[in-house]
Each structure stands twice: as C-alpha cells, then as structure tokens.
A = this chain, B = another copy of it.
Amino acid sequence: MQRLYVVGIGAGDPDQVTIQAVKAINKIDTFIVIGKGVEKQELLDVRTAILGEHAHQQFQVIELPDPPRDRRPGDYPGTVDRWHAERAERVAKLFDDIDGVGGILVWGDPALYDSTLRVVERSRFSGEVVVIPGVTAVSALCARHGIVLNRIGESVLITTARKLREGWDGTDAVVMLDADCAFLDLPDDVQIWWGAYLGMPDEMLFSGRVGDVGAQIKAARDEARARKGWIMDIYLLRG
C-alpha cells in the first residue's frame, strides 16, 4: 500500500460527506474497517449508502477484527497498551499485504476523539497518509439547534464526561463520550443543548435548563438505547 486516506464522512447524515471526501473515496482500492463488530447496523448502512452513491470505481472492503481485550484487567494501563500494540501489529501486517491505495472512513472528523490516526501512527506505515477533514458531531449539534457554539469572544471547552465529573470551572463546554448522563449532577440552572443520532432518521434533540429537561433527556436516552441497542450523543453546556 503506497497511500492511505483517512476520510472524515460527517456525523451521520450521508449527505454530510464533502466533495473532497468523495474524490478521495474514488481513489481508494481497499477500504479498511478496523474493529469489526463495534459498529451497529444503522451506521454500517450510512457508510454503505455513501459508498453506493459516491464510489464509482472497483473496490474491496477488508475488515480487521480487533484482538480480544481483557475488559477487567488488573494492570489497566499496561493491558491497554499491549492491546494497542497488538492491534497496531495486525494493522501493519494488513497494510503490508494491500496493493495500491487504502482508505479508512471515520465518523465525523478524524481529529476529534477518534483513534484511527493513532493506530496508523503506531503501525509505522511508511507510505503517504492523507487526512480528509469532516463535519464534526459538534458542528452537527449546533446546526440542528440553530445555535453558535461560542458566545461572542468567549472560549469553548471540548471535553469528555469523565473530565466533566472531575470538575467543571463553568467554561462553556461540549461533552462527548458520556455513557451515564453526567449532566444530571450539574446545577439545575445550567443550560444544555443535547442531541443524539444527529442527521439520522432517529435524531433526538432537547434543550433547556438541566433542571427542566435533564430527566427527560435521560428517559428518552435510556428508551432509545434499549430499543436500538446503541446511542451516539453529544451536548453543549453553558453555566
């Protein structure tokens, strides 16, 4: 493999792909899916729709399952590190075996809370890596709520639920990777703009004071997650 495209394909709406991404997709001989089984059918369907509509060349898809992972290791950092190393080895071997141009499609943007570029770096791939930026879930969230992310001249923190639980200084914050509705522990007066399945048929949007809409969000989130088996959500907080 001489070249690898890492292509952001937007937050869930197949039409959120860019012309730049479409052009890259049409240069890719082999699409590599790392971590088969991680993604749900609806997400695979979006990706299939994008390739079906925009890929006009012959291509193959190779799925590379992740190595088995000890979910409750005694030595957590060491175990995670060995797991990443093992995955990087498998990826390196696959890259060696592939002829021509490879590509990896990434939800949202490869720069935001996605591990693909780190895996590629660890694989020590010596060919050219071209990154195509995509529309982030952050932008999709703001668009659907019709809001501007930042207040005039102010900063915005992009963070995770784990960091939010460690403490929040009140800076406007976008929270990702929240499995447990960390916002419920915030003061009632904090404003939240929440979205799930953005750009997809089951899109859900809530906004208001945490005290007013927090419990509603949790109930709707729990119901959707149970019904569909997965959820992708994100929110903006203003103190």
Binding site for B on A (CB under 8 A): 8, 10-11, 13-20, 22-23, 76-77, 80-81, 109-114, 117-118, 129, 131-136, 138-140, 142-144, 146-150, 152-160, 162-163, 171
Contact = CB atoms under 8 A, between A and B. Distances in A.
Contact of A20 (B13, B153, B160): B13
Contacts of A143: 8, 109-111, 131-133
What DSSP secondary structure best describes chain A's contact surface? mixed
Nearest to A8: B139
25 contacts: A8-B135, A8-B143, A15-B18, A15-B20, A16-B18, A16-B19, A17-B19, A18-B19, A19-B19, A19-B22, A81-B152, A109-B135, A109-B139, A110-B143, A111-B138, A111-B139, A129-B146, A131-B142, A132-B143, A133-B142, A133-B143, A134-B135, A155-B159, A157-B158, A157-B171
A76 to B, nearest CB: 7
B19 A149 contact: no
B19 A148 contact: no
Q: What 4 pairs across the A-B complex have the smallest Cβ distances? A: A111-B142, A133-B139, A155-B159, A133-B143
B13 A148 contact: no
Nearest to A76: B153
B129 A133 contact: no
B111 A149 contact: yes
Contacts of A22: 19
B135 A133 contact: yes
Contacts of A10: 18
A18 B143 CA distance: 14
B129 A134 contact: no
Contacts of A146: 117, 129, 131
A148 B118 contact: yes
